[in-house]
Amino acid sequence: AQSVTQLDSHVSVSEGTPVLLRCNYSSSYSPSLFWYVQHPNKGLQLLLKYTSAATLVKGINGFEAEFKKSETSFHLTKPSAHMSDAAEYFCVVSTIDPNDMRFGAGTRLTVKP
Amino acid sequence: DTEVTQTPKHLVMGMTNKKSLKCEQHMGHRAMYWYKQKAKKPPELMFVYSYEKLSINESVPSRFSPECPNSSLLNLHLHALQPEDSALYLCASSPIRRGIYGDTQYFGPGTRLTVL
């Protein structure tokens, strides 16, 4: 079985400062890992995904994430936060069953002016 | 085009009403999903269709009835809902490719359902 833990329910940063959203996973198999973003009253948008290629994954809007097998982590980062980054972020793990995606509880990112 | 569309955007219904939610994708994906999302929570999987056949039903009450009439369309029929069923209902689709697991799911914008 697989699971994912998002270590912070809420992260607050100032505009222009770095963003770090933390995610740890548990999986019996080599996982696929995803970060999705959800703005208020919207659907989920894929930011990036890891599928056993390069361990540093670049996504949209300047976000990137690094897969660290030894630490079972897949943290999301961005060098400089923008006001439009304020949203809910979900880390997701998927493994041998392509229909079985496990969502983390989510991290709400607040960006202060 | 990685777009999944859902209609309606908003729906208000009484507990005795019958209504349907619609989801459509034209990406050639052969897996389609319904999720329920309560406020400040992650999406919860309800149903999965693979090649237009129901493959997963996550113990959802029978007042929710899914239907996949063809490879592009997914419906969710609603009947005799309860106020606690009020939520954002999300549809998603993904390709099914032999030997590839954990493929990306593409989500629609959701239908905000309110049950009075």
A49-82 pLDDT, tens digit per residue, is 998 778 899 999 999 999 999 999 999 999 999 9
Q: Which amino acid is located at A71 in the chain?
A: E
- Give the Cα separation of A29 and A90 in Å (integer): 21
CB contact under 8 A, A43 and B100: no
- CA R_g for chain A: 13
Question: Model confidence at A41, in pLDDT bands (50, 70, 90)?
Answer: confident
Chain A residues within an 8 Å CB radius of B31? 98-99
Closest Cα partner for B4 from B34, B45, B49?
B34
Interface membership of A69 toward B (CB under 8 Å): no
A86 touches B: beta carbon within 8 Å: no
Local confidence band at B72 (pLDDT 50, 70, 90 cut-offs): very high
Residue from B105, B111, B113, B114 to probe the interface with A (highest A Cβ count within 10 Å): B105
pLDDT at A99: 63
For residue B99, pLDDT over 60 is answered with no
Tokens of B55: 């493959």
Among B50, B56, B102, the residue with its CB nearest the CB of A95 is: B102
**All residues at 6 or more sequence positions from A84 whose CB lies less than 8 Å from its CB, including other chains:** none
What's residue A98's pLDDT?
59
Residue B101's pLDDT is 59
Q: What pLDDT, on the 0 to 100 scale, is given for residue B104? A: 85
| Mean pLDDT along residues A13-34 | 92
Report the pLDDT averaged over residues B88-100.
Answer: 82
> Ranked by mean pLDDT, which of A98-102, B34-38, B58-62 comes out on top?
B34-38
The pLDDT, as a whole number, for residue B1 is 58
Q: Which residues of B touch A51 (CB under 8 A)?
A: 102
Indicate if the pLDDT at residue A1 is higher than 80: no
Q: Which of the four pLDDT bands, split at 50, 70 and 90, describes residue B96?
A: confident
Cβ contact (<8 Å) for B4 and A43?
yes
pLDDT at B97 over 70: no
How many inter-chain contacts (A to B, CB under 8 Å) are there? 61
C-beta atoms of A106 and B40 within 8 A: yes
Q: How confident is the model at residue A42 (pLDDT cuts 50, 70, 90)?
A: confident
Q: Is the pLDDT of residue A96 over 70?
A: no
pLDDT value of position B113: 96
On chain B, the residues whose CB falls within 8 A of the CB of A110 are: none
Q: What is the mean pLDDT of chain B?
A: 90
CB A49 within 8 A of CB B104: yes
Grade residue B102 by pLDDT with cuts at 50, 70 and 90: low
